Amino acid sequence: MSSKKQAMDLLEVHHPAIGVVAAKVMKNEFFDENEWNIAGIFQSDPPHICPFIIRNILARKFEEMTVILLENANMDNLQKLIEANVDIPLATVRVIMKQLFEGLRYIHFKGIIHRDIKPANILLHSPPDSGRVLCKIGDFGEVKIKSGDNKLTLMTFRGTAVYMAPELFLGDRHEQKQADNTVDIWSLGIVLYQIMTHTFPFDTSTQPAILSFMTTKVLARPHQILDDNLWDLLMRMLSFDRENRISAEDALKHPFFTSEKALSEITEEQRQLALITQQNIDKNVSYFDINPSFILTLNEVQRILGKVDLVRSLSIKQPLEIIT
């Protein structure tokens, strides 16, 4: 039987009414109704309410295949930023994480648990002539939609093992376990660790090595993390006890983002881009467009990745990575 990885493609296409969009093509057997249901949940808000997610536009089911059209991202994904193996300035890391926490805060507010947060599922997009880059959480193929007001919900072993929270990774893979949206916080914590160190906090070569990290419950401070506020935030994200894990909403209030040091590191270019946008009378201008602390500049990203061709999507005709 073919795997999800083999059965899915992400293509860049031109829709006559919408323009350039991404088309996710999959065999019907791999289409999860939940992935489309979230489109209706997000649709109640205009896109500028949260620009840090990839939104589904429409879906069509054919005899053997399903096609989902979704927002296109004209750069690559966060994995490429990590693989560049360049030390990313702390101020840049701060903006990336602030965008991603805001994306997660919105997703969780809507009662959605992503369950597959990883660098390959965080796409980079630079709106035309904006001079800025948005980090967008995409691929909602593994989502869990909460029912009612219950904080906990039943989940199984889903997503990508190296980004999976202990409460899902440990135990019988086929057994349903009680978990909550902090599984996404753990995954984002692993992503943050990768951004800073270009590696994982454990040996990823074998399942027993990952298991050992989960059971010994020791997170060693890497030499690359010198900032105490960043280390405190990371420890609260990678808490082995989900009840002690920080929420996305509280993370945005953490001193790593709000301290005098953080505010002093906002660059003149960020401030100028915010000011230019603020003077624009476009009604779709959002709070995130005029708040310089949310602005990741295109110049900074291209300093790390090199000059990027924004006309061509680098994901075109490449398999969509979903590892279960």
In angstroms, the CA 123 to CA 316 distance is: 13
What DSSP element (H or E) covers 65? strand 65-70
Catalytic pick from 45, 87, 116, 172?
Answer: 116
How many CA atoms lie less than 13 Å away from 318 in the CB half-sphere?
A: 10
Interior CA angle at 40 toward 312 and 120, to 5°? Answer: 40
3-state secondary structure of 317: coil
Rg over alpha carbons for the chain, rounded to the nearest Å, is 19
In angstroms, the CA 133 to CA 317 distance is: 23
| Helix ranges, 84-202 (H) | 90-109, 166-169, 182-197
Asked if 112 and 143 touch (Cβ cutoff 8 Å), the reply is yes
Instruction: Report the number of secondary-structure helices (H) and strands (E) in the chain.
Output: 14, 12
14 by Cβ neighbours in 10 Å (0-12 / 13-18 / 19+) ranks as exposed
Asked if 285 and 47 touch (Cβ cutoff 8 Å), the reply is no
Catalytic residue check, 9:
no
Residue with tokens 């590191």: 265
Catalytic residues: 116
